[in-house]
Amino acid sequence: MVKEEKEENNVWTIDELVALTDDVQHGTVEYKGKDFKYQYCELTESEEPKFGKVTDKMSEEDKFELYAKLGGKRVLNMILKANDKNPEGTTINEKAWPLLPTTLRYMLSNEIMGIQNEAEENFQI
């Protein structure tokens, strides 16, 4: 019986998942010895950025560039959605995003996309 209760706590409900697209989530990254706070919201399918299609004729470099732009736009959309829902917590806006150091943008993107551990393993951050 105890095992069943524990398993139930580790299983997402539909309501919890749907709430993620409405709840503002917060995080902090350490950058050059100081903390930077940010906020974001999960996106629904209709809020995802749309770009051109990847084709077999494209070079690997062109594919990578397209994926990088798509990933950056996706993270920015997640941040902007949170800013709309919680303007008092805004730390990054659309104008500031491209002006941030790329290292910080990559750190934020990795944290928001949930791939920070993978990046640390692969790039020894």
Q: What is the mean pLDDT of residues 23-50?
A: 95
Q: Are the C-beta atoms of 74 and 81 separated by less than 8 Å?
A: no
pTM of the model: 0.79
The stretch 110-114 carries a mean pLDDT of: 92
Average pLDDT, the chain: 86
The pLDDT, as a whole number, for residue 125 is 47
> For 4-20, what is each residue's pLDDT tens digit?
555 567 899 999 999 99
Spatial distance between the Cα atoms of 111 and 119, rounded to a whole number of angstroms: 10
Taking the alpha carbons at both ends of the chain, their separation in whole angstroms is: 42
Rounded to whole angstroms, how far apart are CA atoms 3 and 13?
18
DSSP designation for 37: E
Among residues 21, 28, 9, which one has the least CA distance to residue 85?
A: 21
What pLDDT digit, counting tens, does each position of 44-54 carry?
Answer: 999 998 877 77
When pLDDT is averaged across residues 41-69 and rounded to a whole number, the result is: 86
